Structure 1
Amino acid sequence: MMRRFGGSMAAQVDLPKLHLMTGLRFGLIPAVGCLDEVGFVWWRRVRIFRSFEGRRRREKKAMSLEPNAKKPKIATDSVEKEMIDGVLSNDPSSQLESTIKFRKLLSSDGNPHTESVIQSGVVPRFIAFLEKEDFPELQYEAASVITYIASDKPEVVIDHGALPILVKLLSSPEDDVLEQAIWALGTVAGGSTENRDHVLSSGVLDPLLPHLNVNTKESVLRIATATLANLCRGQPPPLFHQVKPALPTLKRLLQSDDEDLFSDACWALCYMSDSSDDGIQSVIEAGFVPRLVQLLHHTSSAVVDPVRGIICNILAKDNQQIQFVINGGGLRILANMLTQNCEISKKEACSIITNITAGTKEQIQSVIDANLIPILVNVAQTAETDIKMEAVWAISNATSGGSHEQIKYLVEQSCIKPLCDILVCEDLKVVLASLNGLEKILKVGEAAKKRDCRQLISDAEGQEKIEKLQRHKHEQIKDKAVKILKKYWLEEEDEDEEPTTS
């Protein structure tokens, strides 16, 4: 028997650097699934929030209401010096005016001018502005500038010592300042796993978690949830004890009616469940499984994708943890997924069932009792090739690990033909799994002193396909084919020969 998923469940796939609110970056997008076997992955939904400037349109009307009016250009040579002088001055109004100009420069289309801003030497000044509690408008604009810089050069923000100050701003009474500070921290954390660890080490989690509740301003709650996901993301994962305090908060978020919120919460949980065995066990002990099973039936892939990743992480470990999914009603949901007119749902359901049928005989019986075998056989005979492989793998695990009575039931449900049909596929692991399943069926038939199984395999052209596999380039498949033919067909021919008389 083979579990469908092994090792790390969250792989890092290089994609173009995207920004959350032109700031909170998902440069490496996690793909949850099995990359080393059939190659199917469940892609991470990437949301790109509205830009900074869209929110600020409420602050001031445009300089001209004419639709074709040209925007004034920033004269780099003259204005930049004026901007620098304003930031470095001791006049609060000049500081604010110049900081706004820097923010607009960084948010302009095309070249964000990040490097020129850094080279101007004003970054320490913006960080100093973050501490001006008596001037929240300046704090807010400075935090916006820092966020833009962090989206392109997060290491600059770290090296200038901004993280502890940004963390302190998570206690700000000003919603705009608070929101922008969370934004900046999430942006830094999204830059790399090293940056993520710097943010975690700055003590961000304790002051962040109180803002993840239903009474929080909606925009703050959304950014805080996405930031939490960034803090949990990446390979290697963060140390589990650093993110474990977020579990109760995530459990509350999974009860939300807001799809975006509990999608981000599910992704955070998915990353945590991938971090270690302790992570998976803690997810189970915290009581997440029943809710996760419910969410398998959600209509949005943005929710279902990470949920399936979590469940597969659970199933890839041990039989005790698999039982939590069964007890949580997972088989009923899987049956529904198999009968949906959605190829992705069918394939993912088969992958999950494969891990269950790799478990104990009692767990295989649970699959039988849920009437999943006839559905799997139908999928294995009618679906596209890649889905057939998943369904056959689930069936072959059941035959390899099932009791004699269970295997007799599987044969009665016509599982032999799909096992034989898949022997011509190119996936070596699926072919080997199918051979193992057929071998177990033949063994049970021999123990019952019945030749029905051999005949059924021959009728399904299985014997012919196994004979061809004797010449397979893969040594393990070739040896298995030779072993099966020698034991169950050559011996049969010997038994059928008439004794000769002299």
Structure 2
Amino acid sequence: MSSNFKKKLEKRKGLFKKKNSEDSSRSKRNKVNISISKKKRESRLMKRRNIQSTEEIPEIQDFNNIIKGTKSKNMDQIVECVQQIRILLSQNSEPPIDLVLKSGVIPTFVEMLSQKENSFLTFETAWIFSNICSGTHAQTKSVVDHGVIPIFIELLDSKDLPIVEQSIWGLGNISGDCDEYRLLILDNKIVIPKLISVFNRYPITLEIIKLAVWTLSGLFKNSPPLAPKLCQLVFPIFSTYLQDPKEELLVDSCWGMSYICHDPVNIEQLISGDCIPRLIQLLEKDDDEIIISSIRILSSVMGGTNKQTEHVLQAGILKPLKKLMQSTHIRIVKEACFALSNITAGTEDQIQLIIDEELIPEIIDLLSNKNPKISREACWIMCNAINGGNTEQIEIFIKAKIIEKLCVFLLSDEILVVKIVLEAYHKMLNVGVEISIQREEEENIVAEKMDELDISSLIEKISRSKKDKISKIAQTIQNHFFYFDDDDDDQDYYQDYDQDYDQDYDQDYDQESISD
């Protein structure tokens, strides 16, 4: 090998910049997860309390007379008519919510909900309102606009447990309608303490526990995140019911815990409370919601420090994840891949555990998955592993045909995806330099393969893109590995890149086009 060529190889090797610091790849990857996890869990948002088996459904043609009866001066008649409306709204199919709203009876029901003389009447009207709020946004709005939220919150202090139960139900349905109403409920600073106090009452039924856990879980989802003090208040509730064998309690406890575990304080509490083994155990459940919500929590933990990631790894998460990657459920595979991407964003030793578990071939196969959500997550796993791995590890990836598999992601419309793939190619090219030096060969095996596959042409095209954040990286790759130019400005590029990378991350995540 000529001395001139060797000097150039050494120069390029010296330019290598390791990207996978504890504060970069994993923490930034976790920001993407927070964005993704804002989507609604449609199947568990709204609940209608159905008719009791012994009750007879009134004839709808009697509706007008029933409405008139609610305004009678005879209390027994009022109670009977209110109960009949509640029964109509508790039907499994097509409850006449709009008919009730158009009747103009809502203000009357609000007065009944507020009165304290007849607890049965309060209970029935609370049931009516919670069932209306299991309907559309417009139907829920008609109730909220009449001031039902503060009344429900006040009723949480009732000594009548059925009224407490129905008030929790109503608040859960309202908060599940939209973020605006969720935050409107939380504007009342006492609502969380009042809900938590329900767990300390005696006697308390399993149904109330289920509703309270479900409602608390719903109040903590989406953005903006709630104050750390509130998260600390509900942490023991979710932590307790993570241990419960009842699946409905498990699902909502897991989702609730996943919402509050974006806070590092709660992650540490989760670890010290020995919840990690239980969460890994839950990955073996047959319930998809339990599996997905458990992975979300574990991913949040592994989105923290390397030490936190190590705690989850030592608890034995890799074998369950390997099994879940073979699931036919798209969401489960995607979440499993996300968890793995947080692991490969860690240390070389943590990346090695993925290799030792023989997960790399399966992950590389997922790069070609027809579902873009899965292939994209697999791309993150491998790019994190490449950018944080050592030479020996990257050689394993190259032998597994990672060079060939990654190139399709250079055509992605997501700037951030293109960026991490370019960084991965840059790292592999530098490893190619190391291999050339070690073997005293003039050819860079990575550059050769990229030329053979015409990946260099794709990179050259990206280098001419108007998107500076990716064109700079592509230009550097092009200049240093596909033609020689001794007057390059590598060091200036990396100084600029260091300053810009962090602040531009969130802007880049918007799915903007990379076409010229």
- TM-score range, shorter-chain basis? 0.7 to 0.9
Secondary structure, aligned partner of 1:54: coil
Deviations, residues 73-120 of structure 1 (Å, cap 9, x unaligned): 2353x654442133xx6x5x3452343245357665251423654565
Structure 2: how far apart are the matches of 1:119 and 1:45? 27
RMSD: 3.5
Partner of 1:32: 37
Instruction: Classify 1:154/1:82 alpha carbon distance in 2 versus 1 (closer, same or farther; 3 Å).
Output: closer
Deviations, residues 229-282 of structure 1 (Å, cap 9, x unaligned): 2232342232232242332332232233332221111111122224x3334333
Matches within 5 A, 1:438-453: 438-448=425-435, 449=437, 450=439, 451=441
Partner of 1:162: 151
Partner of 1:324: 311
Is the 2:214–2:252 contact (alpha carbons within 8 Å) kept by the matching residues of 1? Answer: yes
Give the drift of 1:122: 5.0
Residue 468 in 1 paired to residue 458 in 2? yes
Q: Name the aligned partner's letter for residue 37 of structure 2.
A: V
Instruction: Classify 1:346/1:79 alpha carbon distance in 2 versus 1 (closer, same or farther; 3 Å).
Output: closer
Q: TM-score, normalised by structure 2?
A: 0.73
Partner of 2:7: none
Q: Which has the higher strand share?
A: 1
Q: Which has the higher helix share?
A: 2
Q: Name the aligned partner's letter for residue 246 of structure 2.
A: D
Q: Name the aligned partner's letter for residue 7 of structure 1.
A: K
Higher RCO (CA 8 Å, separation ≥ 6 residues): 2
Instruction: Classify 1:407/1:117 alpha carbon distance in 2 versus 1 (closer, same or farther; 3 Å).
Output: same
Corresponding residue to 1:187 among 173, 195, 212: 173
Structure 2: how far apart are the matches of 1:149 and 1:347? 36
Corresponding residue to 2:478 among 468, 485, 489: 485
Instruction: Classify 1:278/1:422 alpha carbon distance in 2 versus 1 (closer, same or farther; 3 Å).
Output: same
Corresponding residue to 1:377 among 364, 386, 390: 364
Is the 1:106–1:148 contact (alpha carbons within 8 Å) kept by the matching residues of 2? Answer: yes
Residue 269 in 1 paired to residue 257 in 2? yes
Give the drift of 1:389: 3.5
Is the 2:419–2:470 contact (alpha carbons within 8 Å) kept by the matching residues of 1? Answer: yes
Structure 2: how far apart are the matches of 1:245 and 1:383? 43
Is the 1:200–1:231 contact (alpha carbons within 8 Å) kept by the matching residues of 2? Answer: no
Is the 1:232–1:272 contact (alpha carbons within 8 Å) kept by the matching residues of 2? Answer: yes
Structure 2: how far apart are the matches of 1:81 and 1:318? 64
Partner of 1:497: none
Q: Name the aligned partner's letter for residue 236 of structure 2.
A: P
Matches within 5 A, 1:76-475: 76=64, 80-86=67-73, 91=75, 93-104=76-87, 108-114=95-101, 116-117=103-104, 120-128=107-115, 131-132=116-117, 136-148=119-131, 152=140, 153-156=142-145, 158=147, 161-169=150-158, 171-172=159-160, 174=161, 176-191=162-177, 192-198=181-187, 201-202=190-191, 203-210=193-200, 217-274=205-262, 276-380=263-367, 386-448=373-435, 449=437, 450=439, 451=441, 454-459=444-449, 461=451, 464-472=454-462, 473=465, 474-475=467-468
Partner of 1:499: none
Structure 1: how far apart are the matches of 2:284 and 2:345? 23
Calculate percent identity across the aligned residue pairs: 22
Is the 2:235–2:266 contact (alpha carbons within 8 Å) kept by the matching residues of 1? Answer: no
Q: TM-score, normalised by structure 1?
A: 0.75
Residue 54 in 1 paired to residue 47 in 2? no
Give the drift of 1:61: 4.1
Is the 1:407–1:444 contact (alpha carbons within 8 Å) kept by the matching residues of 2? Answer: yes
Structure 2: how far apart are the matches of 1:5 and 1:160? 37
Instruction: Classify 1:156/1:440 alpha carbon distance in 2 versus 1 (closer, same or farther; 3 Å).
Output: closer
Instruction: Classify 1:380/1:360 alpha carbon distance in 2 versus 1 (closer, same or farther; 3 Å).
Output: same
Stretch of structure 1 that moved more, 325-334 or 460-469: 460-469
> What stretches of structure 2 of length at least 5 have no aligned partner?
1-18, 20-24, 135-139, 487-516
Secondary structure, aligned partner of 1:470: helix
Is the 1:45–1:302 contact (alpha carbons within 8 Å) kept by the matching residues of 2? Answer: no
Give the drift of 1:197: 0.4
Is the 1:296–1:308 contact (alpha carbons within 8 Å) kept by the matching residues of 2? Answer: yes
Structure 2: how far apart are the matches of 1:187 and 1:342? 28
Instruction: Classify 1:315/1:112 alpha carbon distance in 2 versus 1 (closer, same or farther; 3 Å).
Output: farther
Partner of 1:17: none
Q: Name the aligned partner's letter for residue 472 of structure 2.
A: D
Structure 2: how far apart are the matches of 1:164 and 1:421? 54
Q: Name the aligned partner's letter for residue 85 of structure 1.
A: S
Structure 2: how far apart are the matches of 1:194 and 1:168? 21
Partner of 1:44: 41
Deviations, residues 452-476 of structure 1 (Å, cap 9, x unaligned): 9833543355662223322222334
Instruction: Classify 1:217/1:420 alpha carbon distance in 2 versus 1 (closer, same or farther; 3 Å).
Output: same
